[in-house]
Homo-oligomer: A and B are copies of this chain.
Amino acid sequence: MKRYRSSEKFGNKFTLDSDKKNSIEIEERVRYSETDQMGVAHNKSYLGWFEIGRTEYCRQKNVPYKDIEAKGYYLVVAEAFCRYMRPLRYDEKFLIRISLEDIKPKKIIFTYELLTWKEKKLIATGYTVHVVTDSKAKVCSLPDDILDKIRT
């Protein structure tokens, strides 16, 4: 019998504090192709939005993710979690708030909040854990200059 631990280790340490420095917000709209026959955005779509979120986070920190990969470092997704609280409909505009939860040379954790456009009600929360690897998928450390930019 294998014991399966999701994220209990850091699950209750997460604090999504919108005041904290390392948060950015972007807006998105639900595409028609992101809906399913339930008439709402499909659960897979949220992981795509998380990804757009961290791409923009890195860009705003002056270290575009494509440059990180160009230097031979990859932020491989090791864990992804999403809690869905409120449905999102086609063409609905919403906010994605991305926060840097933790950063170490070999591991980065981002948290995400999706919020309604006007009233800022929670649509979903989630996190992704990333392991740093080189181009051969071997775990390695991000160099200090990249680490500094991401965490500043």
Contact = CB atoms under 8 A, between A and B. Distances in A.
Interface of A: 1-8, 11-12, 14-17, 31-33, 35-40, 42-44, 47-48, 51-52, 55, 64-66, 74, 76-84, 87, 89-91, 111, 125, 127-128, 137
18 contacts: A2-B16, A6-B81, A31-B52, A31-B55, A32-B65, A33-B51, A35-B37, A37-B39, A37-B40, A43-B47, A43-B128, A47-B47, A66-B90, A77-B84, A79-B81, A79-B83, A79-B84, A80-B80
Nearest to A42: B33
A15 to B, nearest CB: 6
Contacts of A17: 1-2
Contact of A33 (B14, B36, B89): B36
Chain copies in the assembly? 4
Contacts of A40: 37
A124 to B, nearest CB: 10
